[in-house]
Amino acid sequence: MLSKKTKYGIKALTYLARQENRTPVSIATISKSENISLKFLESILLTLRKNGLLGSKKGKGGGYYLLKEPSDIQMTAVMRILEGPISMIPCVSLNFYEKCDDCPDENACAVHKLMAQLRDSSLKIFRNTTLSDLCNC
C-alpha cells in the first residue's frame, strides 16, 4: 500500500512541476491547493530537498522549486526517497537486499519468484514514468 507520505509527495511534486516559471512556491500555497497538512508537507518537502529533487529559497517570495526538469525526474527516484524499497519483501530488493531468515533456498521459493515478478513489473512502470508524464507538462 502506498503511504500518505509518498502520495502527498507526488501531489506536491506535480503541483510544482505545473508552475510555468519554476519560481519558488510557499509551503502554505501547496498545502492549501493539494489539501495536505502543513506540518506533514514540510517534512515531505524537506526530505525531497535533502535528496536533491527540490531547492528552496528563504524569505519573501521564497518556497520550494524543482531542481530538475519534470521529464528528468523518474518515479523510481521519488518512490525510493519517500517510500523506501520498491519490492514488497527484502530478498528481492535491488537496493535494499536482505536474506529472509525463514528461507533456505531463494531459488526454490515460490514467494521469492512471485515477488520478483511483481518488483520487475513495478520497476518497469516507475522507470518509464516521469514527473512530466504525471502532470502532462
DSSP calls for 80-96: HHHT--SSSSGGG-SSS
Residue 18 has pLDDT above 90, yes or no: yes
Looking at the fold, whether 104 and 85 belong to one and the same domain comes out as yes
Cα–Cα dist 86/51, whole Å: 17
Looking at the fold, whether 9 and 55 belong to one and the same domain comes out as yes
For residue 63, give the C-alpha cell.
Answer: 518556497
Cα–Cα dist 39/43, whole Å: 7
Looking at the fold, whether 46 and 20 belong to one and the same domain comes out as yes
Identify the helix (H) or strand (E) that includes residue 43. Answer: helix 38-50
Cα–Cα dist 28/131, whole Å: 22
Q: Name 64's bridge partners.
A: 25, 56
- pLDDT for res 107: 86
Confidence of residue 137 (pLDDT cuts 50, 70, 90): low
64: Cβ–Cβ under 8 A, 6 or more apart, which residues?
Answer: 16, 24, 25, 27, 30, 45, 48, 49, 54, 55, 56
Average pLDDT over residues 110-136: 94
Looking at the fold, whether 62 and 12 belong to one and the same domain comes out as yes
Of the three residues 49, 66, 83, the one that is the final residue of a domain is: 66
What mean pLDDT, rounded, does the chain reach? 93
- pLDDT for res 1: 82
Domain residues for the domain of 42 are 4-66
The answer to whether 42 and 14 have CB atoms below 8 angstroms apart is no
